[in-house]
Structure 1
């Protein structure tokens, strides 16, 4: 039993939605699990920003090219400002996420003849968020219709966000947004809010997986500006680390799916963690899903060593790519090492591709 090198690098959890809220035991839930800006991972801090010296993850230091704008130097002592790293705006998955959310809002608000083109410009004054929340929740909020003044806009935002927070907080979401952050067009806060609403209301959209964007956090401490990078990571991490009850729903769906096929060979899986670790079931499953017989000389039917198991899992990964699936994000060694997250990712990928195949 070697251990996976990734397993030790655990990260401080300051800010994560804990529960993916009211998800149903069905495929639509799994379909939506696709991935989301789930939690902030604290990156390697430029200075020991964190009071408790939490174990940081080794990410690149703050790029020298990050511009700190003059208004950021006006921060009050011990306050912070969060900005999107400019290069992240060009990230294709990030652009994809923005597009998916904009299309979703527009389809929800079609009847209101509201068309959103830019999340920062269109969400900051509370008007679109009010309409979206009313449409999703089916309840009317007591707010003035159109408000031009900043005070009016902030009052409207206050009412909308209180209603949102009341709804989400009992489900374990960490509230990552505020009246000020949204009104100041902070895209990070706006995204957290929209993703939380989309997941809570089970929006019929597929949030892109593995969206990783960098956020620059500027803090003022003892009159000195300090910067650090934070990264968003995806829904699977959130699910595994913060929503154990939802994890069981996912496991149940995956077990049902793999057994539907393995039963044809009179095989049965009861435990996802361990029964795929030697790669044999993964290979047989691929054969069943793609409808071919895998010659026994291609793999070890009763692998003894770590290397033989890694050979099997790698071979199963090759069969997946032959079937047109993307190269699994996990490493074969992680699956052999019983890394649950890696095993679930691989099976979930099969599930989304083959869930309708007989």
Structure 2
């Protein structure tokens, strides 16, 4: 055996001893072994990819992007394949921030894509860093379709802009970190927390009155409920309708739609919503339609998701009704 082969064999043996065991099913691709000295590459562990909470988080983010970019006729199906070139991220950031970025519209070349990503990420980082965000993404990680980096970025944007979505709580994934030290590949399995609790995630922003109310003063909750019931009935009584329970009676969206018509003094055509909704989707349609009417009336987009109201989430329902109360309490 010649000296070169002997040296290669020795190197291979050293690698096998020094590299911790990788999880079964983790593939180290050839490009991962071509790292520069002290460079590292992070890959999602295959078992985490199948994690149901992680899959749920991906779906929530994809649905959110698609609803934000509906007018752009952009449809995202796969975060890795659709976000790496910067096009979707540019449009999403522009929509959320109301700022137009100075970038080329469509870029096919890798250099052009990375330049676009650089501009988008600089704008994102400039916005988020002052709020204490740890920047867990980079031009290279996004462009190399690193799903964990893409998700970190989207979660940060969703939370910063208070997206009307509910991110699944406590989503963690395991990633394989491959580093090159003194010519030797070292691997380690690291847990990354993508989301914490809803309260902590919202805690980066103002906690609203209902967080405080439900956490610290449940006795005052009935007073608030009574005020809201009095308010909504003052208007719904005009149609001979009456609410006795806030949690359930707004869950199908019908009363919300009718209430908006009464508050804004117009007739809502019956073909716009389901007067007797028969399933979850029809109820969500009604609540979402009521939210649109609220925004048409100059109110901010509700913090709640239509799905949360349909699912009898009291805090979400209270937030929506309280928003109406503060805006219309003096209307006859």
| TM class by smaller structure | 0.5 to 0.7
Given that residues 123 and 129 in structure 1 are in contact (C-alpha distance below 8 angstroms), is that contact kept between their aligned partners in structure 2? yes
Given that residues 269 and 275 in structure 1 are in contact (C-alpha distance below 8 angstroms), is that contact kept between their aligned partners in structure 2? yes
Shift of 1:65: 3.7
Shift of 1:270: 31
Shift of 1:254: 20
Shift of 1:229: 1.2
Shift in alpha-carbon separation, 1:316–1:187, aligned structure 2, 3 A:
closer
Inter-partner Cα distance in structure 2 for 1:135 and 1:88: 31
Given that residues 45 and 56 in structure 1 are in contact (C-alpha distance below 8 angstroms), is that contact kept between their aligned partners in structure 2? no
Given that residues 303 and 309 in structure 1 are in contact (C-alpha distance below 8 angstroms), is that contact kept between their aligned partners in structure 2? yes
Shift in alpha-carbon separation, 1:112–1:217, aligned structure 2, 3 A:
same
Q: Which moved more, 1:283-292 or 1:120-129?
A: 283-292
Shift in alpha-carbon separation, 1:134–1:87, aligned structure 2, 3 A:
same
- Structure-1 residue corresponding to 2:54: 94
- Structure-1 residue corresponding to 2:215: 241
- Structure-2 residue corresponding to 1:223: 183
Shift of 1:311: 45
Shift of 1:224: 1.1
- Structure-2 residue corresponding to 1:307: 281
Given that residues 236 and 262 in structure 2 are in contact (C-alpha distance below 8 angstroms), is that contact kept between their aligned partners in structure 1? yes
Shift of 1:91: 0.7
Shift in alpha-carbon separation, 1:64–1:343, aligned structure 2, 3 A:
farther
Inter-partner Cα distance in structure 1 for 2:39 and 2:282: 54
Shift of 1:87: 1.2
Of residues 280, 294, 311, the one that matches 1:320 is: 294
Shift of 1:79: 0.7
Shift of 1:109: 0.3
1:336 counterpart = 2:296: no
Q: Which moved more, 1:87-96 or 1:307-316?
A: 307-316
Inter-partner Cα distance in structure 2 for 1:92 and 1:45: 46
Q: Which moved more, 1:120-129 or 1:287-296?
A: 287-296
Given that residues 20 and 188 in structure 2 are in contact (C-alpha distance below 8 angstroms), is that contact kept between their aligned partners in structure 1? no
Shift of 1:63: 2.1
- Runs of 4+ in structure 1 deviating by more than 3 angstroms, as ranges, are 43-62, 232-358
Computed over aligned residues only, the root mean square deviation of the Cα atoms, in angstroms, reads 14.8
Given that residues 164 and 302 in structure 2 are in contact (C-alpha distance below 8 angstroms), is that contact kept between their aligned partners in structure 1? no
Shift of 1:212: 2.1
Shift of 1:66: 2.2
Inter-partner Cα distance in structure 1 for 2:13 and 2:287: 38
Shift in alpha-carbon separation, 1:143–1:260, aligned structure 2, 3 A:
same
Inter-partner Cα distance in structure 2 for 1:101 and 1:333: 15
Q: Which moved more, 1:168-177 or 1:48-57?
A: 48-57
Q: Which moved more, 1:264-273 or 1:189-198?
A: 264-273
Given that residues 83 and 215 in structure 1 are in contact (C-alpha distance below 8 angstroms), is that contact kept between their aligned partners in structure 2? yes
Shift of 1:201: 0.4
Could you tell me the TM-score, scaled by structure 2's length? 0.53
Shift in alpha-carbon separation, 1:185–1:279, aligned structure 2, 3 A:
closer
- Structure-2 residue corresponding to 1:255: 229
Shift of 1:67: 1.9
Shift in alpha-carbon separation, 1:291–1:59, aligned structure 2, 3 A:
farther
Given that residues 124 and 185 in structure 1 are in contact (C-alpha distance below 8 angstroms), is that contact kept between their aligned partners in structure 2? yes
Q: Secondary structure at the match of 1:228?
A: strand
Given that residues 106 and 114 in structure 1 are in contact (C-alpha distance below 8 angstroms), is that contact kept between their aligned partners in structure 2? yes
- Structure-1 residue corresponding to 2:168: 208
Inter-partner Cα distance in structure 2 for 1:44 and 1:337: 68
Q: Secondary structure at the match of 1:277?
A: coil
Shift of 1:71: 1.2
Inter-partner Cα distance in structure 2 for 1:284 and 1:55: 70
Given that residues 287 and 293 in structure 1 are in contact (C-alpha distance below 8 angstroms), is that contact kept between their aligned partners in structure 2? yes
Could you tell me the TM-score, scaled by structure 1's length? 0.49
Inter-partner Cα distance in structure 2 for 1:241 and 1:283: 30
Q: For the pair shown, which has the larger CA radius of gyration, 1 or 2?
A: 2
Shift in alpha-carbon separation, 1:123–1:330, aligned structure 2, 3 A:
closer
Shift in alpha-carbon separation, 1:194–1:348, aligned structure 2, 3 A:
farther
Shift of 1:197: 0.3
Inter-partner Cα distance in structure 2 for 1:113 and 1:310: 22
Shift of 1:144: 0.8
Shift in alpha-carbon separation, 1:328–1:83, aligned structure 2, 3 A:
farther
Inter-partner Cα distance in structure 2 for 1:254 and 1:180: 51
Of residues 248, 264, 267, the one that matches 1:274 is: 248
Q: Say which structure is richer in helix.
A: 2
